[in-house]
Structure 1
Amino acid sequence: MHDRHSRQELFQPIGKEGQRKIRSKHVLLIGAGALGSANAEVLTRAGIGRLTIIDRDYVEASNLQRQQLYTEEDVLEKLPKAAAAYKRLHAIDSSVEIRPIIGDANIEMLQDLVGDVDLIIDATDNFETRMMINDISQKYQLPWIYGACVGSFGMSFTILPGKTPCLNCLLQAIPMQGMTCDTNGIIGPNVQMVIAHQTAEALKILVEDWDAVRTSFVSFDVWRNQYSTMKMGKAKRATCLSCGENPTYPYLDVENHTKTTVLCGRDTVQVRPPKVQNLVLSELAEKLKHLGYEVKGNPYLVSVEWEENRLVIFNDGRALIHGTKDLTQAKAIYQRILG
C-alpha cells in the first residue's frame, strides 16, 4: 500500500521527508480511554513507527459513547483497553509496531520506557499521573502534550522542556477543578476537539516543525460556543521544582503519590491522598446526590454507593473503598469520584 499516506505527504509542511520522520518516531501514549483511543487511531493512520500504549482499565458499556476504538464485543469479553486497542489498530495498519501494556503507569515503568521515546501524549484521567508525566518529561527532556476534557469543556497545552512552562508552573497560573467524566459527564464532540489539538501538535513535533508548535494554552466549551487561547510564557517560574533552575522532580518521589492499603480481613482498601485535604462534606454530598449517586452522610463522613463498591470519604480526603482488595481498582474508583 505504497500510497497509504500520499494525501498526508501532499501536505507541504509534512511531505515525504516528514513522513519518513513520522515513521522513525516512537510515541508513548498514557491512557487508552476517550483521548487515548482517538490519539492512537490518528497516529496509527498517520504512519507512526512505534506506539506504546499504557492503560489499567477494561472496556465497559459506558465507554462506547466516546471511545472510538471499542465495540460491544470488547465489552462482552471485558477486554483490557490496551489489548482491545492493539487488536483494532493492528487491523488498521499492521506495519505499525504497537506495544500494549496492561497496567498502572508508575514511576519505575515510565523511567524504564522513555529511553527511546520521542514524544509523550497525556490521555490519562487524573492529575497525579499527569504530574508524574510532567516530571519525567522535564528530567529526560521529552516533549509532552497535555489534554483534558469533561462535560463540554476541554483544554490542551504542549510542553517543551527548556522552552515552555511545565504543568507544575501552569497549575500556579490556572487553578483547575477536580471534575471527572464520572461525576460531570462528557459529550463526544468535546473529545474530538481535544484530540484535534493534541494530534496536530503531535504531528508538528514528529516532523520537527518546531516553529509551528503552539505555545499558548487553549481551552474551549463546545456547548457554550466559547474558545480561548492564553499566552503562557510568563507562567514559567525559575523556582519551579519541576522545570526551574534547581529541579528536584517532586512528583517522582513516591511520598507525593496517593497511598493505598488493604485493611486486614475487611475486603476494603484505604486510599489516602498525598496531602491532607479539607473537604466540605456537605457540599460534596449534595453534588454527588445531584449527579444521581446514592449518598448518606453525617458531619464526619460521606458514604457513596458506586456500582458494586461503597466509598466512605472523610474530611481529610481519605477514603475507604469497600468491596475490593485490589489496590489499583480502589485507586481508580477514588480518582473517578474525587478527581
Structure 2
Amino acid sequence: MNGRYSRQELFSPIGIDGQAKIRTKSVLIVGAGALGAGSAEALTRAGVKRIVLVDRDYVDWTNLQRQQLYSEEDAKRQLPKVVAAKNRLNQINSEVEIQAHVMDMGIEEAEELISGINLIMDATDNFETRLLINDLAQKYEIPWIYGACVGSYGISYTILPGEGPCLNCLLDKIPANGQTCDTAGIISPAVQMVTAYQTAEALKILVEDYASIRKKIVTFDTWTNQHVQLGMGKAKKVDCPSCGANPTYPYLEKSNALKTAVLCGRDTVQIRPAHTIEINLTEMEKRLLPHGEVRCNPYLLELQSGSHRLVLFKDGRALVHGTKNMAEAKSLYHRYIG
C-alpha cells in the first residue's frame, strides 16, 4: 500500500474498496470561485474519475486572496476560471479527467452536463442557480451539497433526493443576511471550513457510506467562535413542487431562466443571449477597436469604453462592468455586439 492514495485507503471508512468506488465516480462542480476551486482540488487529489467544472467568470486580482487554484499570471491574462483551474488540476493529478466549461449554466446546459454525474457540488453565488441545481438533482435523483460563505461565516447542507427536505423546502429556514463577499468581504478560513464540510460529505457519498452523512445544516462563524447544527427533518413539505408527492420541478422551466442579471454584490450586469451563439473574437476585436481600448485572448475579449468595461465570451455572453442598470447594460451590449 504505497500508492498515491495509500493514506486515504488506510482510513478505514474508505479503505481499498472505497477508493475503488471513488475512482469510478464523476462530480459536477457548479462555480469555480473560492468554494469550487477548493472542492475541485480536494476531489482531484482524492482521485475521482471525472470532474465537470462550470463557471461564467474569469480570474481577477481580487480572487487571489482566497481562490487557491489561481496565480497572478492567471489574473494578468484574465483566464476564465475553469481554464486556469483545469491547467492546475492537471498538474496535481493527471489521472483525473477534468472537463472545463466556460458558461453560465442554464436549464439546457444543466440537462446536458448531468449525464453520468454521481454528485453535484454547489459553489455558486446565487439562489437562482442553486434552485436550478436542486430541481435537477431531484429530477435525476443525484445527491448534491449546498455551501456558502461570506465574511467569517459559512454554511453547508447535504441533500439526498427522496430523503429529507430539499432546498426549496428550506428557503424560509436558511440563515441569511443578504451580504455578499463584495459588500462584507471574506476571509479564507471561512472558505476552507465550508470546503472541508462539503468535501467530507462528498467522500461519504462517493464511497456510498450514506449512514455517515450529516443530516443537519451546519453554520459557523470562525471569528466569533460560533458553531451551530440545525436539524431539518421536519422541514420537508409534502406539497413541495421540487421534491413533494407531485413534483413539477419549477426551476427547470424555461420561463424561469434569467437572461439578464446583476451579479452578486458587484457593479456588473451579465447579458446572456436567449440562444447560444459563437463569436469570432478576432473579428470582433477588429470591429471594436475604434470604440475604445480592446484586449483579447483565446477565451474572451475586453472593451474599455468610458466608465464601462464590457467583457465578451465566445458564446455571446457578456459582463458589463460599471453599471447595475439592466437597460443600460442591454443598450451597451446591442451597441457594441449587436
TM-score normalized with structure 2 length = 0.79
Say if 1:131 and 1:168, in contact at 8 Å, map to a contact too.
Answer: yes
Q: Which runs of 5+ in 1 are unaligned?
A: 262-267, 272-304, 327-339
Match of 2:34 in 1: 34
Q: Distance in 2 between matches of 1:2 and 1:17?
A: 16
Post-superposition offset of 1:259: 4.0
Post-superposition offset of 1:177: 3.6
Match of 1:164 in 2: 164
Post-superposition offset of 1:2: 5.8
Post-superposition offset of 1:76: 1.1
2:106 is aligned with 1:124: no
Match of 1:311 in 2: 323
Post-superposition offset of 1:324: 4.4
Q: Distance in 1 between matches of 2:192 and 2:236?
A: 29
Match of 1:228 in 2: 228
Give the secondary-structure state (helix, strand or coil) at the position aligned to 1:98: strand
Q: Which amino acid aligns with 1:321?
A: A
Give the secondary-structure state (helix, strand or coil) at the position aligned to 2:171: helix
Post-superposition offset of 1:222: 0.7
Q: Which runs of 5+ in 2 are unaligned?
A: 262-267, 272-306, 311-320
Match of 2:333 in 1: 325
The verdict on how the C-alpha distance between 1:90 and 1:161 changes in structure 2, with shifts beyond 3 A counting, is same
Match of 1:278 in 2: none
Q: Structure 1 residue runs of 4+, over 6 Å off?
A: 268-271, 305-308
Q: Distance in 2 between matches of 1:6 and 1:57?
A: 36
Q: Distance in 2 between matches of 1:325 and 1:16?
A: 54
The verdict on how the C-alpha distance between 1:75 and 1:310 changes in structure 2, with shifts beyond 3 A counting, is closer
Q: Distance in 2 between matches of 1:152 and 1:65?
A: 14
2:73 is aligned with 1:65: no
Match of 2:155 in 1: 155
Say if 2:106 and 2:257, in contact at 8 Å, map to a contact too.
Answer: no
Following superposition of structure 1 onto structure 2, how do residues 33-182 of structure 1 map, counting pairs within 5 Å?
33-174=33-174, 176-182=176-182
Q: Distance in 2 between matches of 1:102 and 1:257?
A: 18
Say if 2:269 and 2:323, in contact at 8 Å, map to a contact too.
Answer: no
The verdict on how the C-alpha distance between 1:211 and 1:101 changes in structure 2, with shifts beyond 3 A counting, is same
Q: Which amino acid aligns with 2:185?
A: G
Post-superposition offset of 1:224: 0.7
Post-superposition offset of 1:123: 0.5
- Structure 1, 240-249 or 178-187: larger mean CA deviation: 178-187
Q: Distance in 1 between matches of 2:64 and 2:309?
A: 18
Q: Distance in 2 between matches of 1:97 and 1:26?
A: 9
Post-superposition offset of 1:220: 0.6
Match of 2:215 in 1: 215
Post-superposition offset of 1:258: 2.7
Match of 1:286 in 2: none
Q: Which amino acid aligns with 2:5?
A: H
Say if 1:311 and 1:322, in contact at 8 Å, map to a contact too.
Answer: no
Post-superposition offset of 1:227: 0.4
The verdict on how the C-alpha distance between 1:47 and 1:269 changes in structure 2, with shifts beyond 3 A counting, is closer
Post-superposition offset of 1:110: 1.0
Q: Which amino acid aligns with 1:241?
A: P
Q: Which amino acid aligns with 2:198?
A: Q
Give the secondary-structure state (helix, strand or coil) at the position aligned to 1:84: helix
Say if 1:310 and 1:322, in contact at 8 Å, map to a contact too.
Answer: no
Following superposition of structure 1 onto structure 2, how do residues 187-198 of structure 1 map, counting pairs within 5 Å?
187-198=187-198
Give the secondary-structure state (helix, strand or coil) at the position aligned to 2:114: helix
- Structure 1, 1-10 or 47-56: larger mean CA deviation: 1-10
Say if 2:82 and 2:100, in contact at 8 Å, map to a contact too.
Answer: yes
Report the RMSD for the aligned CA atoms in angstroms.
2.3
Say if 2:269 and 2:324, in contact at 8 Å, map to a contact too.
Answer: no
The verdict on how the C-alpha distance between 1:125 and 1:269 changes in structure 2, with shifts beyond 3 A counting, is closer
Match of 1:19 in 2: 19
Q: Distance in 2 between matches of 1:307 and 1:188?
A: 28
Post-superposition offset of 1:270: 9.2
Residues 264-307 of structure 1: per-residue CA shift (max 9 Å, x gap)? xxxx9798xxxxxxxxxxxxxxxxxxxxxxxxxxxxxxxxx887
Match of 2:313 in 1: none
Match of 1:288 in 2: none
Post-superposition offset of 1:312: 4.9
Q: Which amino acid aligns with 1:325?
A: Y
Q: Distance in 1 between matches of 2:76 and 2:5?
A: 34
Q: Which amino acid aligns with 1:22?
A: I
The verdict on how the C-alpha distance between 1:95 and 1:324 changes in structure 2, with shifts beyond 3 A counting, is farther
2:15 is aligned with 1:8: no
Q: Which amino acid aligns with 1:127?
A: F
Q: Distance in 1 between matches of 2:12 and 2:211?
A: 15
Say if 1:310 and 1:323, in contact at 8 Å, map to a contact too.
Answer: no
Q: Distance in 2 between matches of 1:167 and 1:136?
A: 12
Q: Which amino acid aligns with 1:31?
A: G
